[in-house]
Structure 1
């Protein structure tokens, strides 16, 4: 039998896959070195979803993550326009002159989100980190229209980074790092005529952007988790949003990220998560989605983007997240809005 035809979620094989990725990252990921923290987030949070976090040294992981935080020279530096969050990798901490001079500050919102997520997953108390530097300097990244840039200079801006800012504030339990009203206004502008959200106002609706919009609004307290309340008093067009999301489940059972695109493993979480946040997850076909995901399960462990391809960390993590959303036995539940295990549900 072809492994992709298995009707079982091969949990042990997936744990081995993540352990391998955690211990020795394959050479194919060399070009992703700048995103090392993100790759670690997929592996470590993935192991927690699979109830296998005991496979890693939590203190060692926490110390490693903390070594990526950028710190201002003094308190006055927090007004210099730079962001003092977490670097994505060791190379982005190299001295700017290549010898030993001053460092370029390449702290990044997405890396900071991943760093805080890892720390939270391994049980590190976030109250112990220098959150003031993160939050005060993060304000510098919010643009006049409410959107965020991920780094202090020369970068794009879109809904991904609005979400990262909201998740950072939520995990630190301090909303002083952003203007929620301006962020909300920007998100509303990104809802398209068909109900989904584009990354920027006027762009095509996209599953990932839609998750970022809805999860950020939920984290900021602007939408309810009760479908009847969402529909009757929401700041966004919830009926059109629900219709757009439900239309993304294709005939093969999987979810597509955009209209007329092939089903893709990761959108089982991005779109399925939106429906879960809105309390509408009982409207899609869970059995068909599970069957599609299993066609992307590989004999090496992990999941691929499409059936018949090799596994990768990104699609594996969001497949595990989707199976958790589907309440697969033996998996830890998720905090959908933060994209990490629900630590309160597992006694942390």
Structure 2
């Protein structure tokens, strides 16, 4: 395959194959079924190839992962009634095996995103339990944990919560002001964002911060009115940090002194797109880097020197090319991380 030629049909064939059966290397990702499906289905959507998907079958499959409360009391016990990543078997005291599913913010984001991408109507979707129980996951500092017990809190899950509320057009599931304060506290001295306050700036965390602020309606307000101290989003410093992440090979780093990686062509490129600074990066060199990560088997690899593609880097490689307006690809709704739904 010519490294600078985009081979659409090969990528469609790869993702269509991944939709039917994943390689055994993915067995360790059993609990992330909805996330893997999100990469594959959204990738096909970017390729304008959703005709390869049985939509009714997919809708039924996704909805089967939704966790439902049994009674009103369930909504008051702190559990999250979203979507779980997989069904898991547990042995009861009497030795019987029962099947359980636990709601997770990332899986819920992926489930709702899949449904939105394939055109599912949310008019008959009962999402009140999702939003009412999601409030339990927001912490006093404004961050979110992804599940009701035993999990970390960081920007990834603030983003998931904001995206869920945005897609459902209902913000009762979170306190936006508290979430805003947490996000802005994660901006580092160099302009980027760490996953938690005081952490090293990271491309994925920076995307989560900027995209969440955009979804919550704060980015435009910040540019026009400037938040009062101490919560000022320094956009000029942020743009500078993003542009500095483009390496001499054309790709974007996720962190300083790390190699370029296909996925950051979207994570960092998406931030630049949202803030109006995308025209300042070297887009020709970026395209050449992304295409150098194409696999001869279809799909995209993490690094040019890797051998095999994976669904994660395949989706974000395609998303990066969509930002670059590659012919034959659908445009993105950048802040949601999905193809634009018309």
Number of paired residues? 335
Query: What are the within-5 Å matches in structure 2 for residues 92-241 of structure 1?
Result: 94-95=89-90, 97=92, 99-101=96-98, 104-224=100-220, 230=223, 233=226, 235-241=232-238
Where does 1:1-348 land on structure 2 (aligned, <5 Å)?
A: 3=1, 5-91=2-88, 94-95=89-90, 97=92, 99-101=96-98, 104-224=100-220, 230=223, 233=226, 235-309=232-306, 310-344=308-342
Please give the per-residue CA displacement for 1:273-321, whole angstroms capped at 9, x wherever unaligned: 0000111111111100000011111100001000121100101100000
Deviation at 1:76, TM superposition (A): 2.3
TM-score by structure 1 length?
Answer: 0.93
Q: CA offsets, 1:138-184, max 9 Å, x none? A: 00000000000000000011000000000000000000000000000
Cα deviation, residue 45, structure 1: 0.8
SS in 2 for 1:40: helix
Q: 8 Å contact 2:65–2:86 — kept in the other structure?
A: yes
TM-score computed with the length of structure 2 as normaliser: 0.95
Counterpart CA distance in 1 for 2:292 and 2:225 is 39
CA-based RMSD of the aligned residues comes to: 1.5
Instruction: After TM superposition, give the deviation of residue 221 of structure 1 in Å.
Output: 0.1
Deviation at 1:7, TM superposition (A): 1.8
SS in 2 for 1:38: helix
Rounded Cα–Cα distance in structure 2 between residues aligned with 1:74 and 1:95: 22
- For residue 89 of structure 1, give the secondary structure of its aligned residue in structure 2: coil
User: How far 1:104 moved relative to its partner?
Assistant: 4.7
Shift of 1:100: 5.0
CA contact (8 A) 1:231 1:238 kept: no
Contact 1:86 1:115 in 2 (8 A): yes
Q: Deviations over 1:202-261 (max 9, x none)?
A: 000000000000000000000129xxx737736401010000000000000000000011
Deviates more, 1:232-241 or 1:24-33: 232-241
3-state DSSP of counterpart to 2:284 = helix
Partners of 1:231 and 1:239 within 8 A in 2: no
Q: Structure 1, residues 18-68: CA drift from partner, whole Å, max 9, x if none? A: 001000111010000110110001111110100100001101100100000
The structural deviation recorded for 1:127 is 2.9
Is contact 2:165-2:171 (8 Å) kept?
Answer: yes
Q: Could you tell me how far apart the structure 1 residues matched to 2:198 and 2:262 are? A: 26
Shift of 1:126: 2.0
Secondary structure, in 3 states, of the residue corresponding to 2:172? helix
Q: Distance in 2 between matches of 1:140 and 1:232?
A: 32
Does the aligned pair in 1 maintain the 2:46–2:339 contact within 8 Å? yes
- C-alpha distance 43-105 of structure 1, shift in aligned 2 (>3 A): closer
- After the TM superposition, which of the residue ranges 104-113 and 138-147 deviates more from structure 2? 104-113
Mind listing any 5+ residue stretches in structure 2 that lack a counterpart? Answer: none
CA contact (8 A) 2:87 2:101 kept: no
Which secondary structure state, in structure 2, belongs to the residue aligned with residue 212 of structure 1? helix
